[in-house]
Chains A and B, each alone.
Chain A
Amino acid sequence: MSVIAPKFKFSEFVKSILDNLFWFLLIFALIGVPLVQIILFYVEMPVINGELLTPFLALTWLADPSRTLPILKAFMTTDLFRIAAFPGFGFAALLAAGTIFVERKMLAKLQLRVGPFYCGKIEGILQLMGDGLKLLSKEIIIPAKADKPIFWAAPVIFVGAAAAFVALIPVAPGWVVADVDVGLLAVFAVIGFFPIITILSAWSANSKFPFIGGIRALHQMVSFEIPLILSLLGVVILTGTLNLSEIAASQSAFPWIVFLPVGAIVFFITILAELERIPFDLPEAESEIVAGWLTEFSGMMYGLVQLGTYLKLYAFAALFVVLFLGGWNGPMIWPPFPEEIITKGIEAGPITVQIPGLPLFSQETLNGIVWFVIKTVGVIFFILLPRGVFPRIRIDMLLSLGWYKLIGMAFINIFIALGLLYAGVLGPGGML
């Protein structure tokens, strides 16, 4: 085993917890309980056995376990849950954290290395947590001549924009934070924010390398936004809607990648460029301009930008899934919830336990989530893969690729879509 990492002893871990038990209890009593109460005020309380639960009665689940699930279910219907936990930030951050881990291990395997190994018992699974703690503990250094308010705000706005992007992604039928009818337009609007944030942070740092990096990022994002938007027009033409949930639902028979492979390829390449992944990582090209527009960020500001980057990666991969790979649609692989647990309860020896409030999710929802996650992980894998295979390209090659080749291919895609529409094969009132 490791000689570098100190030996983990469970007894010492328990002892350290017991040592701090008083503080845990104090913090829970002073902060945790009021926080839970505040959250519960936003929850529409269910009526259980003819009695309306109030936020104060809600804590009675501690005494009466049968109330746990109804309260949880009521909480799950709130916007707070959707934004913070399931289709929103928490779910995306979890997938993003998994992405970082997979990226490290996969690249390590490709490059005949081991990758993260010591942190956490299994294959360095806690490495990300360690890195996060390290970034939190680092001093934040701001250049003396920086434009401080903008420089401070840039990482926060970056994460905010990435989270706004995440909010537009439908994960399962009905599970989306913001179900807007012009969802795709909203996506374009959010994507349009990123170059502004990048150039603001780069310019406000008042340093040469970030400035060059910011200009490069601006060139790159602006010139790839046009093929990105054009490549998605084919899907819009065939579905006749901008609502992402409806686009996903329209692919119950077949995904659009079957008919629009050109658009899917163009969209995938523009994803790589928008995400500044290798081979398009010119704004962060380290051998030329140190770390590009990230050069002056330190401590948790850098951590926030990285968080935003990986949220963005998840959101783009999910967008690809929703638009081209059929979103949540897929064969039913999730087993149905056993009915007798709801009707009869679980027989545990002499007593029968009735669990009210089951099931939490319907079978269709769970199946949709599973398919969505499988497809998204697959797309993320292909986004990560070029990093191990390609070198970085140059800015003039990038621009000619964006302006000449990708835009041309995007138009070909639009013509394919129009042809399918007017031939009456697909689209509203089509054969399929």
Chain B
Amino acid sequence: MTTELPPGLALQKVDERIMTLNVGPQHPGSGHMRIIVQIDGDYIVACDPDPGYVHRGEEKMAEYRNYITNIPHLERPVIHDSCNILYPYVLGVEELLGIEVPERAKYIRVIASELNRCIYTMYWLAIYGIFLGHSTMFMWPAGDRELLIDLMEKMSGARVTHAHFVPGGVRNDLPPNFEDVCLRQVNYFEKRIKEYAAIFYDNPILIARTEKTGILSRQDAIRLGTTGSVLRASGVDYDLRKKEPYDVYDELDFQTNVLKEGDSYARSKVPWLDMMESCRIIRNALEKMPKSGSVRVKLKPNPKGGDDSVYKRVESGRGSLGCYIVSDKKPEPYRVKLSVGSFRNLIALPYLLKGEKLGNMPSVYWSLNYWPVEADR
């Protein structure tokens, strides 16, 4: 009986000119994954992304815990974006259990989710900066991210992994005076991220290096199933907050950022523009939010769902993030399936890297808005 080896381990006869590089899992430019790159001189002839080094079995674990105790571990795949990764699960459980969420809780959820989107994007941007050798762009976002982390800490009590969303609302009401602090911090944050243009996005070297590299055309972006900023950078106006508004997104005033180019530069720019939209959404939500009221519906202990299944999806920092929950009249879900944007975007990597130069690998790879842990789940 022969066992099939993974592609990087199998002995394969290759051309003498071609060198196989294992970028990762122990590599400063890979994250928790491996990219098997075959290069001919400086050109990449083939690329095989190999995720799976941080598989945690979240979906299996979810089958042994009830609907409430699933919350703290389901957010682990993306601890920086923990509100957004919990969002579809919470929405789904609410539909299964038939819970109506208070209006104020919906607004708090939107604020928390947008704050988390910014926190995640800043982290992503910091790594994008250091991947391009721009150490200032590593330090600035990592430092400015603290503003929003402080806000989330005030709101939920934890800097990351907030576990703030629960079926039926949010865990706690906002602390007193939160609205003023939030408005101040977010305004300053927006001012800061606009300064990034001068040092990073308008930098001639950055533009020369990332423009017209790794171009993903509109048709390919749709055919490969990419989502989120990658799709919007290729000229597809697709944002679940607009297309399938959940909670109160249909009442808020914002727009989606769409760029036509589809290259690494556009892909790196869309999340940055999205952050400014997030600031707008937060300000708008703070204005429209009911000033008082309940934020949580009291649940029965060990709630049971019907014989039903539900699929909910939201727009996370990395694109469409879906959660499929099957219930079989027990306190535990029968099956929880996370459908994450990272993995969908990673599918585009071999197509984009083929024929590129090795020096473009980090910028193309990280511009896909990919988070290795989320892809592995």
Residues of A at under 8 Å CB distance from B?
107, 110-113, 208-209, 212, 278-279, 281-282, 285-290, 387-397
A212 touches B362 (CB 8 A): no
A287 touches B19 (CB 8 A): no
B136 touches A111 (CB 8 A): yes
- Chain B, interface size: which category? 20 to 34
B19 touches A208 (CB 8 A): yes
User: What are the residues of chain A within 8 A of B29 when measuring CB–CB?
Assistant: 286-288, 290
A390 touches B362 (CB 8 A): no
A387 touches B209 (CB 8 A): no
Complex A-B: 29 CB contacts under 8 Å: A111-B140, A113-B139, A208-B21, A278-B135, A281-B133, A282-B359, A287-B29, A287-B130, A287-B132, A288-B29, A288-B359, A289-B358, A388-B135, A388-B136, A389-B203, A390-B203, A391-B133, A391-B137, A391-B203, A391-B205, A391-B206, A392-B132, A392-B133, A393-B205, A393-B209, A394-B209, A394-B359, A395-B42, A395-B359
User: What are the residues of chain B within 8 A of A390 when measuring CB–CB?
Assistant: 134, 203, 205
| Residue in A closest to B22 when the chains form the complex, CB atoms | A208
A212 touches B358 (CB 8 A): yes
User: What are the residues of chain A within 8 A of B140 when measuring CB–CB?
Assistant: 111-112
User: What are the residues of chain A within 8 A of B138 when measuring CB–CB?
Assistant: 111
Any chain A CB within 8 A of the CB of B199?
A: yes
Residues of B65-84 whose CB lies within 8 A of A: none
User: What are the residues of chain B within 8 A of A112 when measuring CB–CB?
Assistant: 139-140, 143
User: Cα distance A208–B20 when bound, in Å?
Assistant: 9
Residue from B27, B129, B208 in contact with A290 in the complex, judged by beta carbons closer than 8 Å:
B27
User: Cα distance A281–B359 when bound, in Å?
Assistant: 12
User: What are the residues of chain A within 8 A of B357 when measuring CB–CB?
Assistant: 394-396
B359 touches A285 (CB 8 A): yes
Any chain A CB within 8 A of the CB of B28?
A: yes
User: Cα distance A111–B141 when bound, in Å?
Assistant: 10
Any chain A CB within 8 A of the CB of B371?
A: no
Chain A to chain B: the 9 pairs with minimum beta-carbon distance, closest first? A392-B133, A287-B29, A111-B139, A391-B134, A391-B132, A287-B362, A394-B359, A287-B131, A286-B28
B362 touches A288 (CB 8 A): yes
| Residue in A closest to B20 when the chains form the complex, CB atoms | A208
| Residue in B closest to A393 when the chains form the complex, CB atoms | B205
Any chain A CB within 8 A of the CB of B309?
A: no
Counting chain B CB atoms within 10 Å of each CB, which of A113, A287, A394, A396 scores highest? A287
Given A107-B136, A278-B133, A395-B359, 20 extra CB contacts under 8 A: A111-B136, A112-B143, A113-B139, A208-B19, A278-B135, A281-B133, A286-B29, A286-B133, A287-B131, A288-B29, A288-B358, A288-B361, A387-B135, A390-B134, A390-B203, A391-B205, A391-B206, A392-B132, A393-B209, A396-B357
A394 touches B135 (CB 8 A): no
B208 touches A393 (CB 8 A): yes
A110 touches B131 (CB 8 A): no
Any chain A CB within 8 A of the CB of B217?
A: no
User: Cα distance A111–B139 when bound, in Å?
Assistant: 6
Closest CB in chain A relative to B278 CB, distance in Å = 22
| Residue in A closest to B41 when the chains form the complex, CB atoms | A215
User: What are the residues of chain B within 8 A of A393 when measuring CB–CB?
Assistant: 205, 208-209
| Residue in B closest to A282 when the chains form the complex, CB atoms | B359
User: What are the residues of chain B within 8 A of A287 when measuring CB–CB?
Assistant: 28-29, 130-133, 362
Closest CB in chain A relative to B366 CB, distance in Å = 8
Closest CB in chain A relative to B23 CB, distance in Å = 8
User: Cα distance A386–B347 when bound, in Å?
Assistant: 36
Residues of B288-336 whose CB lies within 8 A of A: none
DSSP majority for the B interface? helix
Residues of B109-146 whose CB lies within 8 A of A: 129-140, 143
Given contacts A285-B133, A287-B28, contact A391 B42 (CB under 8 A): no
A397 touches B208 (CB 8 A): yes
User: Cα distance A290–B26 when bound, in Å?
Assistant: 9
Any chain A CB within 8 A of the CB of B185?
A: no
User: What are the residues of chain B within 8 A of A387 when measuring CB–CB?
Assistant: 135
Any chain A CB within 8 A of the CB of B256?
A: no
Any chain A CB within 8 A of the CB of B360?
A: yes
User: Cα distance A290–B132 when bound, in Å?
Assistant: 13
Given contacts A286-B28, A287-B28, contact A394 B360 (CB under 8 A): yes
User: What are the residues of chain B within 8 A of A110 when measuring CB–CB?
Assistant: 136
User: Cα distance A289–B358 when bound, in Å?
Assistant: 9
Counting chain B CB atoms within 10 Å of each CB, which of A107, A110, A278, A289 scores highest? A289
User: Cα distance A395–B361 when bound, in Å?
Assistant: 13
Closest CB in chain B relative to A269 CB, distance in Å = 13
Closest CB in chain B relative to A137 CB, distance in Å = 23
Closest CB in chain A relative to B24 CB, distance in Å = 11
- Interface mask (B239-270 → A, CB under 8 Å = 1, otherwise 0): 00000000000000000000000000000000
User: What are the residues of chain A within 8 A of B206 when measuring CB–CB?
Assistant: 391
User: What are the residues of chain A within 8 A of B136 when measuring CB–CB?
Assistant: 107, 110-111, 388-389
User: What are the residues of chain B within 8 A of A286 when measuring CB–CB?
Assistant: 28-29, 133
User: Cα distance A282–B359 when bound, in Å?
Assistant: 9
Residues of B9-45 whose CB lies within 8 A of A: 19, 21, 27-29, 42
Residues of B60-110 whose CB lies within 8 A of A: none
User: Cα distance A396–B131 when bound, in Å?
Assistant: 18
Closest CB in chain B relative to A100 CB, distance in Å = 15
Closest CB in chain A relative to B17 CB, distance in Å = 14
Counting chain B CB atoms within 10 Å of each CB, which of A282, A394, A395 scores highest? A394
User: Cα distance A209–B28 when bound, in Å?
Assistant: 12
Closest CB in chain B relative to A357 CB, distance in Å = 50
Counting chain A CB atoms within 10 Å of each CB, which of B132, B136, B209 scores highest? B136
| Residue in A closest to B134 when the chains form the complex, CB atoms | A391
Residue from A111, A208, A209, A285 in contact with B135 in the complex, judged by beta carbons closer than 8 Å:
A111
User: What are the residues of chain A within 8 A of B135 when measuring CB–CB?
Assistant: 107, 111, 278, 387-388
User: Cα distance A247–B131 when bound, in Å?
Assistant: 43
User: Cα distance A212–B129 when bound, in Å?
Assistant: 23
